[in-house]
Amino acid sequence: MNAEKSRTGQCLCGKVKIRLVGEVHDAGVCHCSMCQRWCGGPAFGLGGDYDVEIDGEDAIVYYRSSEWAERGFCGTCGTNLFYRLVESGKLMAHTGTLDDQSGLTFKSQIFIDEKPDWYAFANETENMTGAEVFAMYAPKEGDQG
Ligand SMILES: [Zn+2]
Ligand SMILES: [Zn+2]
């Protein structure tokens, strides 16, 4: 058996523990107004091809933020854990939940057109506007997740 790649993480209080199994190497930022409100700033998500194992599912509260997505957070400490597409179950965990964030590549920024004007990341990234994101993943025009 090959040594499987994985990264572990948890919420602030520790009731929810996650294990990401597979390729977790990219970090991406979403500047959309919904993520801003939910995270208290831009959302930092983990890209790659990985499965998520959750320990402490009972502690997670889900907020259905759109027709196609929901956002999971710890009901005790409020840590914003992940964004999940309802239909596919595809889940995007947040970088900040990881125990060790070393070795990640800051790859992309989405909803760049909704980024507030008071900050800008110096990293060279692939940037997409909200319209470009919807054109690529296309649930519905003019709606956010
Ligand atoms: Zn917690
Ligand atoms: Zn967003």
Q: How far is the CA of 138 from the centre of ligand 1 (A)?
A: 33
Ligand nearest to the backbone CA of 145: 2
Q: How many domains does the chain divide into? A: 1
46/86 Cα distance (integer angstroms): 18
First vs last C-alpha separation in the chain: 38
pLDDT, tens only, 30-59? 999 999 999 999 999 999 899 999 999 999
At 1 the pLDDT is 46
Q: How far is the CA of 60 from the centre of ligand 1 (A)?
A: 8
Structural domain contains residue 12: yes
* Average pLDDT, integer, range 78-91: 94
* Average pLDDT, integer, range 83-89: 92
Domain that holds residue 111: 6-128
Q: How far is the CA of 95 from the centre of ligand 1 (A)?
A: 15
Q: What is the CATH classification number for the domain harbouring 68?
A: 2.170.150.70
Q: How far is the CA of 37 from the centre of ligand 1 (A)?
A: 19
